[in-house]
Amino acid sequence: MFSDTQLAEVFNRTKGHCHFCGDPLAFESYGKTDQEESAWEIDHVIQKGKGGSKDVSNCLAACIKCNRLRWHRTGQEVRDLLLYGLIAKDEIKKKTHIGKTIEELKEKRLLTNQNRRRKLGK
């Protein structure tokens, strides 16, 4: 658990913005999922599961949506997701068969994630 001083250090390192998407965050919304637009979490730059430190120096502020999308992914995996996302977005915009299938898969994935979080009590 981080002290308020340590949280402020992490928050100020990105000037109160998500280090992924750049959206503004509210310091007082740390860990509050009910205020998703400004809510934030600590992102471990090098994930703990990959040997990263729990120290403040290995942490940046990230909005909850971005942080949970990143999860355990490496930088290259995140870049691949962005590229695939751009391709998918074009297909959806063109209303191609692939685009329609992607939209269906998205809805299915969101339901799966929602059900998983319910089971975990989040």
* One domain for residues 55 and 92: no
Gap between the Cα atoms of 1 and 27, Å rounded? 16
User: What's the pTM?
Assistant: 0.72
We report the CATH number of the domain holding residue 51 as: 1.10.30
Q: Estimate the crossing angle of helix 75-93 against helix 97-120, to 10 degrees.
A: 130
Domain count for the chain, please give it. Answer: 2
* One domain for residues 32 and 82: no
pLDDT in tens, the chain (122 residues): 899 999 999 999 999 999 999 999 999 999 987 667 899 999 998 888 888 898 999 999 999 988 888 888 888 898 999 999 999 999 999 999 999 999 999 999 999 988 887 887 75
User: What tokens were used for 119?
Assistant: 């089971």
Alpha-helical runs (H) found in 4-96: 4-13, 64-70, 75-93
- Segments forming the whole domain that contains residue 108: 74-122
Q: Residues 33-57: pLDDT tens digits?
A: 766 789 999 999 888 888 889 899 9
